[in-house]
Amino acid sequence: MKYCNNCEKMVEPYHRFNWGAFILLLIFTLGIGAFIYLIYHVASSGSCPMCNSKNWGVPPKKKNQ
């Protein structure tokens, strides 16, 4: 779970794997481009499922009442 600064909520980042790009990279670069795409996909932080941003931050502290 990450905190989205735009939505001001804790959300689960959304990762979308592009199979078309993966297959084209696999065929035309003899697997090297597909390998790089896999590393990029694993290392990417994902985007917010509500607002589609990548504006992640630290959630604000709750005040004691």
Q: pTM of the entire structure? A: 0.64
Instruction: Express each pLDDT in 13-63 by its tens digit.
Output: 888 899 999 999 999 999 999 999 999 998 888 899 999 888 899 988 877
The structure tokens 């589609």 sit at: 52
Q: What is the pLDDT of residue 61?
A: 84
22-58 CB burial, b ≥16 within 10 A, e <16: eeebeeeeeeebbeebeeeeeeeeebbeeeeeeebee
Question: Do 48 and 4 touch, CB atoms closer than 8 A?
Answer: yes
- Parallel/antiparallel/unpaired status of strands 56-57 and 9-11: unpaired
Q: What pLDDT band is residue 11 in, cutting at 50, 70 and 90?
A: very high
